Structure 1
Amino acid sequence: QLALRYILTHPAVSVVIPGAKTEKQAQENANASVRSILSDEEISYIQSI
């Protein structure tokens, strides 16, 4: 979910199409898009990894 949220914060990205093998994974992927956007601090930390 964090990876999907990170990708969705990029201004050039309008849609993400993740794969899922189970219904649970599909639901978790869908939930990633309705959570709050990442803060600038979170984005900076991810980029530093």
Structure 2
Amino acid sequence: GTAYAVWTGIGTVGTALLGIWLLGEPATAIRLACIALIVGGIMGLKLAA
């Protein structure tokens, strides 16, 4: 259900941010935009549930 989608999104965003911060992966505009879309989707799911 919704909880699974939310926690999967949080894990995906967390992994991407750790890769940027700890592993020095490039924080390109498209990568940050995609992370923002995921966060926006998570917020939308939580507001709609």
Q: What TM-score do you get using the length of structure 2 for normalisation?
A: 0.33
